[in-house]
């Protein structure tokens, strides 16, 4: 249980830091030019916090916990990437289907970002936890 909690906390920290760095640049240079007419001036912080909390719990249950007993890194990275792709894809493809003016380039970039960031942060969260605890 200790390795699961530690891995999840490090994965969450890595995910949050990198995502905040990405968003600090991408909002101005990518999201505003593509979907700026749909964006709020300031995000609703409680909703953002709930996303990160739910996402990290899902990551712990669906990706991190099962991977702790496996040595197949390729399979783990694929599954983590797919978890992110599905989560970000659900949001983006639903918006593409229902929101007037949603950008196809945002769909592609955001889904790729979600998959990549999820795989990266999960992998390094587990790696750091194992180095610290074993």
Predicted TM-score of the model (pTM): 0.96
Confidence of residue 120 (pLDDT cuts 50, 70, 90): very high
Would you state the structure tokens that stand for residue 81, as one six-digit string?
Answer: 């990437």
What's the number of domains the chain is made of? 1
Percentage of the chain lying above the pLDDT 90 cut: 99
Give dist(CA 59, CA 64) in Å, integer: 6
Would you state the structure tokens that stand for residue 103, as one six-digit string?
Answer: 């950008």
Query: What pLDDT does residue 79 have?
Result: 98
Provide the residue range defining the domain that includes 129.
2-133
Give dist(CA 79, CA 27) in Å, integer: 28
Task: Compute the average pLDDT of residues 79-103.
Answer: 99
- Residue 19 has a CB neighbour count (10 Å cut-off) of 18
Would you state the structure tokens that stand for residue 24, as one six-digit string?
Answer: 């600090």
**Helix-then-strand count for the chain, H and E:** 6, 0
């Amino acid at each position: 249980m200790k390795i699961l909690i530690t891995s999840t906390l490090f994965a969450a920290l890595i995910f949050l830091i990198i995502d905040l760095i990405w968003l600090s640049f991408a909002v101005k240079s990518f999201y505003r030019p593509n979907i700026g007419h749909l964006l709020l001036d300031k995000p609703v912080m409680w909703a953002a916090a709930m996303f990160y909390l739910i996402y990290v719990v899902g990551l712990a249950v669906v990706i991190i916990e099962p991977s702790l007993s496996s040595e197949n890194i390729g399979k783990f990275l694929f599954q983590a990437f797919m978890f992110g792709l599905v989560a970000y894809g659900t949001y983006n493809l639903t918006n593409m289907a229902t929101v007037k003016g949603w950008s196809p380039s945002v769909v592609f970039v955001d889904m790729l970002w979600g998959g990549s960031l999820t795989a990266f942060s999960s992998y390094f969260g587990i790696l750091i936890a194992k180095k610290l605890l074993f």
